[in-house]
Amino acid sequence: MKSADDLKKTLFRIHDKGYKAYQDIEGLYLFSQYELSVDRVQPDPFAPPSRVRAVISLKKWKIFSDLWENKTRRIAFCDFIGRQVHQAILNLTSKPRGTGKSGMIGIEAGGPEILERTAVVINGETMELRLTVGLPAAGRTVQGMEAVSIFFEDLPKVIQQGVFQFPNLGLEVKHFVDAFEDQEWLRTALDEKDLVAFVPEGAILPRESGISSRPLAMGPVPFYPPQELSMSLQLPHKGRMNGLGLPKGVTLIVGGGFHGKSTLLRALELGIYSHIPGDGREYVVSDASAVKIRAEDGRFVEKVNISPFIKSLPLLRDTLRFSTDNASGSTSQAANIMEALELGAKVLLIDEDTSATNFMIRDRRMQELVQKSHEPITPFVDKVRQLYQDLGISTILVMGGSGDYFEAADTVIWMNNYRPFCVTDRTREIAQQFPGHRLAEGGEGFGEITARLPKPESFDPSRGNREVRIEAKGRETLVYGEKDIDLSFLEQLVETGQTRAIGRFIHLYATKYLENSAHLKEGLLKALVEIEEKGLDFLMPYKIGNLTKPRLFEIAGAVNRLRSLQIKPK
């Protein structure tokens, strides 16, 4: 290991040389309070920034070790530190330091969701901060003096403010970690209490805007549970908490336009994750297997059994193993449901605004005009009850335009000015007073869920002269070899780091587990178990700070949208 002075001398020496001279600084350096590892130097100032790690001993902070004593608390503590470091970077007042990405310091801190990331990692008694640094240049000439300022002024300041100040924030850190542990506990407790979701009293669900995850600051309406669905739970740290307990079964969320129906559903979609204190949606938790379902025009679909919903398509197209390069709204929504069920989803979340109308409902008048013998689609209204009765799969459905779901519903919540009211009894009265006269089209049972197994040749990560090219282009696009996978309709994907990790999960699955698995779910679960044991670092051949752990459902969602996917015959 070299000394910090060695790094400074090297930077002085390479000042005004060509940019490749920066490669001389790769290595490990001992600073007074941490070790600095320069892992990778960028090839030019316009390339992705260089990767560095600050390795900090935790031995002197044993008094605080309860903050990272188990994996759950460790995830939250690392998340907190990452946010503190990110804020310390924002607090820097240094001037621009050259061309391209010169002088940029970064860390993946995430949004309001508390997630397992590789940005801050605790191994034994050390903690690593994984940062990116844009090494400064004038054109493509090394600016060694500016680099000295980064490594000996800016970075120490960031680490001092982001890490070494945490003992002074003892109560804040403990509250953060305890809140995460409480939310994780609450999510695991839902099933035994026959719930699919919980929304706490006082939650602020509306967001600042459609593109912002920040809570609405002006005039928000705190969530107050209706008496009929109100319950109290004893959390490990926070203690007694009141809120709305949403029972298993079929739940309708109804109400007028702009009164908060979709806002509530969106909070439940993201209730699969725990949230930071102050987000407004902390302690809003949903079943960990809840999957948002929507129509997806133009989707690629490979040999999915959509026969519970769609049969006897024109031109004799097979719906037991349905394939298309350009799915319609109804076939894509059917495929999305069946793929979710194939992976083990226990809760479906559906909004009529993002659904195919002909998939959701077929009223009595249309049934009379177009006889069932001429209509291949069995609408969701005729299957939603069977999903729960036959398979134990619950549905939460936003529906403001049709009362034909009244007979199928176990629970009905009316949103009025962002306030929920339980109107289940009133809904049943209306259903009796104004019968729908629909003809049931769902048959005697839901139908078969078919497990599928991809062919190994589906997964070729190579591109040009690169054996493996897997990268994320933002949250919504994953590059896998020659293919771009569109993930924009996977609405529970929240970070680009998850997209990066998904690509690597697919590669791990394809190279290690595919051929020894009976079906897609089994192989992906094996890969997830290995990552659970060995950490996200196992996905990469080198240490990197921009991976975030995804769910099984989003990994499978990417596999199912890979246009080179081929499914083995039965």
In 379-397, which positions are buried (b, 16+ CB within 10 angstroms) versus exposed (e)? Answer: bbbbbbbbbbeeeebbbbb
The pLDDT value given to residue 214: 83
Cβ within 8 Å of residue 413, ≥6 positions away: 226, 229, 251, 252, 253, 254, 264, 420, 421, 422, 423
346 and 478 in a single domain? The answer is: no
42 near 26, Cβ under 8 Å?
no
* Domain presence at residue 450: no
360 and 477 in a single domain? The answer is: no
Is the four-CA dihedral 470, 473, 475, 481 of positive or negative sign? negative
* Domain presence at residue 403: yes
Q: Which of 120, 135, 164 is the endpoint of a domain?
A: 164
The pLDDT value given to residue 316: 59
Which CA distances in Å does 353 have to 39, 157, 251? 48, 49, 16
Number of structural domains the chain divides into: 3
How do 195-200 and 285-286 pair as beta strands?
antiparallel
464 and 520 in a single domain? The answer is: yes
Domain span at residue 112 reads 2-164
As a whole number of angstroms, the distance between CA 321 and CA 569 comes to: 9
363 and 481 in a single domain? The answer is: no
As a whole number of angstroms, the distance between CA 117 and CA 531 comes to: 12
Which CA distances in Å does 388 have to 173, 343, 383, 385? 41, 16, 9, 5
As a whole number of angstroms, the distance between CA 44 and CA 366 comes to: 64
Which CA distances in Å does 197 have to 164, 189, 399, 411, 531? 38, 10, 18, 13, 27
Number of neighbours of residue 180 by Cβ within 10 angstroms: 24
Cβ within 8 Å of residue 381, ≥6 positions away: 360, 361, 362, 402, 404, 405, 408, 438
As a whole number of angstroms, the distance between CA 49 and CA 329 comes to: 41
380 and 501 in a single domain? The answer is: no
382 and 497 in a single domain? The answer is: no
Is the four-CA dihedral 275, 276, 279, 283 of positive or negative sign? positive
**Per-state percent for the chain, helix, strand, coil, to nearest 5:** 40, 20, 40
As a whole number of angstroms, the distance between CA 501 and CA 520 comes to: 18
Cβ within 8 Å of residue 347, ≥6 positions away: 196, 197, 286, 287, 289, 290, 291, 393, 394, 395, 396
DSSP letter at 569 equals P
* Domain presence at residue 247: no
Give the residue carrying structure tokens 């809120």. 243
422 and 468 in a single domain? The answer is: no
Q: Which of 129, 164, 199 is the endpoint of a domain?
A: 164
The pLDDT value given to residue 205: 94
- Cite the DSSP H helix spans in 19-124: 71-91
CB-based burial label for 314 (10 Å; 0-12, 13-18, 19+): exposed
* Domain presence at residue 215: no
pTM of the complete model beyond 0.75: yes
* Domain presence at residue 240: no
Structure tokens at 532: 């659970």
7 and 149 in a single domain? The answer is: yes
Residues shown for the chain: 570
Which CA distances in Å does 539 have to 280, 423, 527? 33, 49, 10
The pLDDT value given to residue 240: 97
28 and 135 in a single domain? The answer is: yes
* Domain presence at residue 91: yes
20 and 144 in a single domain? The answer is: yes
As a whole number of angstroms, the distance between CA 307 and CA 318 comes to: 9
As a whole number of angstroms, the distance between CA 146 and CA 190 comes to: 54
Q: Which of 133, 164, 195 is the endpoint of a domain?
A: 164
List pLDDT tens digits, range 226-270: 999 999 999 999 999 999 999 999 999 999 988 999 999 999 999
* Domain presence at residue 537: yes
* Domain presence at residue 406: yes
428 and 460 in a single domain? The answer is: no
133 and 16 in a single domain? The answer is: yes
33 near 161, Cβ under 8 Å?
no
As a whole number of angstroms, the distance between CA 109 and CA 101 comes to: 19
Low-confidence ranges of the chain (pLDDT < 50): none
The pLDDT value given to residue 21: 96
Closest CA to 560 of 337, 305, 302: 302
